[in-house]
Structure 1
Amino acid sequence: MTDLVPAEFAEAVGAYEPDPVDVDAPFAVTGATWLRRLPRLLEDLLARWDLTVDGPTCWGQCAVVLPVTGPHGTAALKVSWPHLEARSEHLALRHWEGHGAVRLARADPARFALLLERLDASTDLVDVPIDKACGVIGDLLAQLSSPAISRTPTLSAYAARHAVGTNRALDGGLPRRFVEQARHLAVDLAADPVVDSCLVHSDLHYTNVLSAERQPWLAIDPKPMAGDRAFEVAPALWNRSDALGSGSSVRWLLRRRVEIICERSGIDEARAKAWTIVREVDNATGLASGSDRVGLAVAIIKAMND
């Protein structure tokens, strides 16, 4: 089964330390240890669920996905390195029941294994014109809109845990005024009664949307939270940054993405901009001044302030 684990994936995951957010959880394990167990785990899952691999392995930052055929036709077997963000993925997919998202057939949560509807892994939104791609994301966010469910992380806890006014943030490459602004915004947004009211995907961007047969596009790979729908917009801004151009066009194009997504999803634009500032300060915390990622964060924050 080692041939089902791509070398590039193994090289990246092999460096992972146990999930630092929840190191005391029983599933916490280094990437290297998990990789040693992965071939046997795949073998066991394929046998137990009566699956046959019928194509090359796909992979992302934390999971391998095997195209398989089983008793009910074609499917995709996803097995993730155990980490907090993946812990409740099966709960969200079961709740959505295929409405705007990939359909879940069965799950083994203890082993972070999911049997999913097979989508077209070769066709995502990366090469779709950006306005159209943002419209698709907005439409999917509208479909995914639903009340929060239990046993998922909360956005209020995120706001508290990522206290963006800490010394670590101030020691990084972001201007102090942005760090202070994000800290105040996080406090204000977390105090709102809606902060933990909705089930949010939290990572819906251009490679986490795949072509499907049931409808043109479906969301994959949620990192579920009980949160505020306005938290959802930011990933579509920092991804596909190569399409932002340079100079004065950058701010206009960023605001254009926000406008399209919010209009199509029914998300409040002002709240989306506020949460984006919080998320971008969090993303840039601890990074060196002058790095490309800090530069992108500054550009996004400036655009959200216009």
Structure 2
Amino acid sequence: MIDLIPAHFAHRISTYPADGHLSGEDWIAELPRLLADLLDEWELEPIGPTMTGVCSIALPVRLLGSHRELAGVSGEAVLKVSWPHPEAATESLALQVWNGHGAARLYRADPARFAILLERLHPRDLSRVDIDTACEVIGGLLATLRRPPHPRIPRLDDYAERQAVELREARPVIPRRYLDQAAALARELVVRPPGEDRLLHSDLHYFNVLGAYRSPWLAIDPKPMAGDVAFEIAPSLWNRAEELGTGSEIRWSLRRRLEIICERAGIDEGRARAWTIVREADNALEAADDPDGHDRVSLAVVIIKAMND
């Protein structure tokens, strides 16, 4: 099973401190046995090279046993196993709610082991699709994914209330006025909520949308939350940042992305801009703790400025 775990992935994960569960080092040590157990218990056969994400591995497999019919004619699926951390704890719940509508279909799940068996999708994503078209796809998926949330999904309001405090007290890694603005917006957005909470993907961007056999595009890798749909826009602004242009082009590019997605998804642009300011201030704080995070902090300032203009 060691051969199924890419060395670069194991090295990166082993640096992660425990986040409510195992440290990355301890989890990597257990991962070969965990994979062997899952392949045996779920009657799966590896059929392709392991793919990796920031915190997970995804192994193409063939279903061999009585559950083969779950995967249709091909009998193929993807076994995804994630390093245990809070953001991954409720992924299977969101996928259950969506039930294949706009997102990869869930075949099996073992939440205690952070393991899920998913529909196998194409490797192509939206990263090289014309940006306007890609934003239209994102907006359409957001509209399709709009469902009442599962009761065990973390609430966006809790995140916003934490940010209202943390941003106000944070050291000025970006101009103080932006931190204060983001803190005030976080509180205001909770005080003036939208009509209904919805299940949020919260990390839907060009690399988390894959082509499918049964649909042109499907979402993967949610970080589920329950709350205001306007929270969903920001990842599509900070990804593919190298295509934003220079000077005055940057504001135009960011606002166009936001407008296209909001129009397709039926999302209020004002709330989307406000949530983006909150999220980018939060991102700046996190990036400031990274020795290589200077460019990400600068990008956060650029996006916040564009949302204010």
- Bin the TM-score by the shorter chain: over 0.9
1:115 maps to: 117
Give percent identity, aligned residues only.
Answer: 59
Give the gaps of 5 or more residues in structure 2. 70-74
Q: What amino acid is the match of 1:302?
A: K
Residue 165 (structure 1) shift: 3.0
Question: 2:172 touches 2:179 (CA, 8 Å); kept in 1?
Answer: no
1:174 counterpart SS class: coil
Mapping of residues 87-236 of structure 1, within 5 Å: 87-121=89-123, 123-162=124-163, 163-168=165-170, 171-194=171-194, 197-236=197-236
> How far, CA to CA, are the matches of 2:56 and 2:255 in structure 1?
32
**Does 154-163 or 260-269 show the bigger shift?**
154-163
Give the total of aligned pairs: 296
> How far, CA to CA, are the matches of 2:269 and 2:213 in structure 1?
31
Mapping of residues 260-299 of structure 1, within 5 Å: 260-285=260-285, 287=288, 291-299=294-302
Mapping of residues 25-64 of structure 1, within 5 Å: 28-64=21-57
Residue 196 (structure 1) shift: 7.1
Residue 167 (structure 1) shift: 2.9
Cα–Cα, structure 1 residues 38 and 2, in superposed 2: closer, same or farther, change >3 Å?
same
1:77 to 64, 76, 79: 79
> How far, CA to CA, are the matches of 1:14 and 1:109 in structure 2?
21
> How far, CA to CA, are the matches of 2:94 and 2:152 in structure 1?
10
2:72 maps to: none
Question: Is 1:304 the counterpart of 2:307 in the alignment?
Answer: yes
> How far, CA to CA, are the matches of 2:168 and 2:14 in structure 1?
30
TM-score normalised by L of structure 2: 0.93
Cα–Cα, structure 1 residues 38 and 299, in superposed 2: closer, same or farther, change >3 Å?
same
Q: What amino acid is the match of 1:124?
A: D
Residue 245 (structure 1) shift: 1.2
> How far, CA to CA, are the matches of 1:124 and 1:82 in structure 2?
26
Question: 1:148 touches 1:196 (CA, 8 Å); kept in 2?
Answer: no
Superposition RMSD on alpha carbons, in Å? 1.5
TM-score normalised by L of structure 1: 0.94
> How far, CA to CA, are the matches of 2:37 and 2:301 in structure 1?
47
Question: 1:164 touches 1:182 (CA, 8 Å); kept in 2?
Answer: no
Question: 1:31 touches 1:81 (CA, 8 Å); kept in 2?
Answer: yes
**Does 146-155 or 269-278 show the bigger shift?**
146-155
Question: 1:200 touches 1:229 (CA, 8 Å); kept in 2?
Answer: yes
